[in-house]
Amino acid sequence: MRKLLTLLIIVVIIYAIGRTARLFPPQSGTSGLQFPQLGSKTSEKQTILSEESAVTHVVEKSLPSVVTVGINMTTRTRDTFSLDPSNPFAPFRRTPGTQQEIKQNIGSGFVATSDGLIITNKHVVSETDATYTVLANDEKKYNVEKIYRDPLNDLAILKINATGLKPLPLGDSSKLKLGQIAIAIGTPLGEFTNSVTTGIVSGLGRGITAGSPYEGFVEKLDNIIQTDAAISPGNSGGPLLNSVGEVIGVNTAVSAEGQNIGFAIPVAIVHDLIDGFNKRGGTFEKPYIGVRYKIIDRQTAVVNELAEGAYIIEVVEDSPAQKAGLQVEDIITEFSGTKIKGTDQQTLTKLINEHKVGDQVKLKVWRNGEIKDLTITLVASP
C-alpha cells in the first residue's frame, strides 16, 4: 500500500512539472530551444545573403559588357621664359615647349549592340584631335572607328570593328523608386578596371551643371538620377544597373563638394539616342529644311479664309526650302503624306525629325487659294 501511494505521488509531481513547462516556456537566456523569430539575427543574415547573391549575379552577368575607354593624343607643353642676365638687350630667354604623347585610360562605357556600338559620355571623347580605344573585359583592345556625339546630351556612341558582343539590357528609368539598389561598374581614375560599387537611388529628377569652366566644358543636365554608389573620375560612361542587371543610367558626374553624391543620365535618353541613331541611318545629323513657321489651327484658318497647317514666316537663304520653291506666307498643309493639324506648334518639326538627311519629301503647299505639290530634299541641320 505504501509503494502504491509513493508511485501515485511521483505521477502527480511529473504531471505538475509538465503542466508548468507548457504554461511558462523557457525565456531568453534560459535553457531550452527556440525557433528564430522575425527580426532575428538569422533572418537578417538571410536577407544580407540574398542581397549579396543578387549583386554578385548582376556583376558576373554584366562584366563582359562593360568596357574601358582610352585616349591617344599628342600635346605640346607651354613655352617657358627665364631670365638671361648676360644679355641686357634680350633679358628673357624663351624655351620652346616639348611634344608629349598621352596614352591612358580615361573613362568607361558599355556594349549597346552585338555589332560594336558602345555607349559612353560625350565628355569622355570630347577631344576631336585624339584617337580612342576600347578595352574589353577579356583584355581585347579595339580602335574606335567612328564617334557619334549627341549634340543635346552628354552621351556618345562609339563604333568598333567587332561582332558577337554581349549588349547590356536597357531598363525603364521611368519606374525607378528612391531606395532601390544601384550598382555602378567602371574604371575609376582610369586605373582600376572592372571596379564595382553599390548603393541606392538617392534622388530623381535632379538638375545639375557638370564640367569645369577652366577645362572649357560645362553642360547643364536635367532629370538626372542621384546615387550614393561611389562614382569617381573614370567611371564616366559606365552603366548604373538595377538588381536584375538592367541599365538604369549612364554614370556621368560626381559632386566635388560632397561624398557619395554621384549622378547618372537616365536610360530613357539612351533609348531615344539609339532609336534616333538608327532612324537617321547611323548618324546624329538632324534633317533641316530652313523655315520659320507658325501653326494655324482650324478655327483661325476658317475665320481668315486660309488653310490649316504650317504658315511660313521666313525662308532661310540657300536652304532646301528656298531651293524647293517655298515662299513666305505659304502654308504647308501636308508633309510626306501626313496632314499638319493645328493642335501642336511643333508638328512640322516632329515630322521632319522622323526622316533622315538625304530623304526627298513631298509637300502639299497652300498658296493664294491653290494647292501646289513640291518636293524638298532634307539636309543636315547647320
Q: Which CATH number is 338's domain given? A: 2.30.42.10
User: Rounded to whole angstroms, how far apart are CA atoms 329 and 26?
Assistant: 93
pTM over 0.85: no
Same domain, 246 and 318: no
Is position 311 within any domain? yes
User: Rounded to whole angstroms, how far apart are CA atoms 182 and 198?
Assistant: 6
Same domain, 138 and 199: no
Span between the terminal Cα atoms of the chain, in Å: 118
Is 355 labeled as catalytic in the residue annotation?
no
- Residue 32 confidence (pLDDT) above 80: no
Is position 218 within any domain? yes
**pLDDT reported for residue 210:** 66
Residue 124: closest CA among 200, 219, 201: 219
Same domain, 313 and 367: yes
Same domain, 297 and 374: yes
Same domain, 156 and 191: no
Residue 316: closest CA among 328, 333, 298, 302: 328
Strands (DSSP E) found in 297-354: 309-315, 331-335, 338-339
**pLDDT reported for residue 277:** 80
**pLDDT reported for residue 142:** 94
- Residue 256 confidence (pLDDT) above 90: no
Is position 116 within any domain? yes
Is 381 labeled as catalytic in the residue annotation?
no
Q: 160, 185, 214 — which closes off a domain?
A: 160
Same domain, 180 and 270: yes
Cell of 347: 508638328
Residue 376: closest CA among 288, 306, 247, 313: 288
Q: 250, 279, 308 — which closes off a domain?
A: 279
Same domain, 76 and 154: yes
Is 123 labeled as catalytic in the residue annotation?
yes
The CA distances from residue 79 to 94, 95, 96, in Å, are 7, 6, 5
**pLDDT reported for residue 219:** 67
Exposure class string for 219-239: b at 16+ Cβ within 10 A, else e: eebeebbbbbbbbbebbbbbb
Rg of the chain taking only CA atoms, in angstroms: 34
**pLDDT reported for residue 16:** 55
Residue 330: closest CA among 311, 304, 302, 309: 311
Name 222's Cβ contacts closer than 8 Å, sequence gap at least 6: 207
Q: What is the mean pLDDT of the chain?
A: 82
Mean pLDDT of 36-42: 50
Q: 194-219 pLDDT, tens per residue?
A: 899 999 999 898 877 765 544 445 66
Exposure class string for 354-377: b at 16+ Cβ within 10 A, else e: ebbbebebebbbbbeeeeeebebe
Is position 366 within any domain? yes
Binning pLDDT at 50, 70 and 90, where does residue 41 land?
low
Q: How many helices (H) and strands (E) does the chain have?
A: 6, 22
- Residue 11 confidence (pLDDT) above 70: no
The active-site residue, picked from 62, 65, 154, 355, is 154
Q: 106-124 pLDDT, tens per residue?
A: 999 999 999 999 999 998 9
Among the ranges given (112-126, 140-154, 360-374), the one the predictor scored with the smallest mean pLDDT: 140-154
The active-site residue, picked from 202, 232, 236, 319, is 236
CATH number of 132's domain: 2.40.10.10
Same domain, 308 and 273: no
Same domain, 274 and 292: no
Among the ranges given (13-22, 131-140, 282-291, 363-372), the one the predictor scored with the smallest mean pLDDT: 13-22
Binning pLDDT at 50, 70 and 90, where does residue 160 land?
very high
Tell me which residue range forms the domain holding 368: 287-380
Residue 225: closest CA among 242, 198, 202: 202
Same domain, 81 and 148: yes
Is position 52 within any domain? no
Same domain, 314 and 359: yes
Is position 44 within any domain? no
Return the percentage of the chain with pLDDT > 90, whole number: 41
**DSSP output for 267-288:** HHHHHHHHHHHHHTTS--PPEE
The number of distinct structural domains making up the chain is 3
**pLDDT reported for residue 49:** 59
Same domain, 366 and 309: yes
Is position 40 within any domain? no
**pLDDT reported for residue 6:** 63
Q: Would you say the C-alpha torsion 306, 307, 308, 314 has a positive or negative sign?
A: negative
DSSP state of 173: G
The SS3 assignment for 4 reads helix
The active-site residue, picked from 123, 173, 228, 355, is 123
Q: 246, 279, 312 — which closes off a domain?
A: 279
Cell of 120: 559612353
Instruction: Using the structure block, give the residue that is written with the C-alpha cell 525565456.
Output: 27
Is position 109 within any domain? yes
Among the ranges given (51-60, 90-99, 163-172, 263-272), the one the predictor scored with the smallest mean pLDDT: 90-99
